[in-house]
Amino acid sequence: MSLEKMTAIVTGAGRDIGRASAMRLAAEGANVAISYHQSSDGAEKTVAEIKANGGNAIAVQADLTDPADAYKLVKATVDAFGGVDILVNNSGGLVERKTINEMDLDHWNHVMALNTTSSFLMVKACLPHMSKGAIVNIASQAGRDGGGPGAIPYATSKGAVMTMTRGLAKELGPDIRVNGICPGMIDTDFHNIFTKPEVRTHVANASPVKREGVPDDVANLVYFLASDQSAFVTGGNFDINGGMLYS
């Protein structure tokens, strides 16, 4: 197994892309620490499934917009597994669709903190324990195209994650590689909550692959970028959207 004896942190891994990524990394031999904010049932089920398959995992409740919780997650990981080799910054969200005229500064700051500041805090907390390894940041197609209606803070925050990815790759190389992933229409709770069914159907039918993505599609790319299979890849932001947007 290509990640045997390595340790990964996957944030927001109680469901969807985070859960699939944690499962994929564990299947390749990594010890996995997952964080959750509210999805405690999903997080515990993920840990239980990893252990049932012969892997090692822990779950830690954390609000990753809080520096103390970011450091708490990393400390729990180091205490359990001895270090950190892989960081997958997956936690975040849109919160609510609001136009610029409808939103206030608190909404803007909250979405930016969820998606951008949380990644910054996790990198800061992990670096003292990462002499080498890989960071994978989950951005979004919205960071490329501005997002759908009422998603300006979300799209802006994900665009910032993409830029942070490039800067980190320069600063942390050669020992730590940093890449981003920009998912499009993936069958997750995000779109169950925020995207109308008819929009999802239209996007799926308009895409060259004629379907929505699934979390495992993204998890496979997370694994590739976290592993030595991508040893000469850093600073990239990779589209995974069934061909709906080319960059």
- Which domain, by its residues, includes 178? 7-240
Closest alpha carbon to 225 in 158, 178, 166: 178
Asked whether residue 181 is domain-assigned, the answer is yes
pLDDT for position 69: 98
Does residue 1 belong to any structural domain of this protein? no
Split into its structural domains, the chain has a count of 1
Q: Would you say residue 75 lies in a domain?
A: yes
Q: What is the CATH number of the domain that holds 111?
A: 3.40.50.720
Residue 190: predicted pLDDT: 66
Q: What is the dihedral of CA 34, 75, 119, 138, to 10 degrees?
A: -30
| Domain contains 90 | yes
Per-residue pLDDT at 204: 82
CA distances from 219 to 51, 70, 95, 216 (A): 19, 23, 23, 5
The pLDDT value recorded for residue 189 is: 65
The pLDDT score that the predictor gives to residue 188 is 73
On whether residue 245 sits in a domain, the answer given is no
Q: Are 50 and 28 in contact (CB under 8 A)?
A: no
- DSSP E strands in 71-175: the ranges are 86-89, 133-138
247 part of a folded domain: no
- pLDDT score recorded for residue 192: 66
Among residues 36, 71, 154, 223, the one annotated as catalytic is 154
Question: pLDDT below 70 — which residues of the chain?
Answer: 189-192, 194
Establish if 2 belongs to a structural domain.
no
Q: Is 184 within the bounds of a domain?
A: yes
Gyration radius of the chain over CA positions: 17
- Catalytic annotation present for 154: yes
Residue 197 pLDDT: 85
Alpha carbons 132 and 83: distance in angstroms, whole number: 11
Q: Indicate the pTM of the whole model.
A: 0.94
Condensed to tens digits (0 to 9), the pLDDT of residues 127-182 reads 999 999 999 999 999 999 999 999 999 999 999 999 999 999 999 999 999 999 99
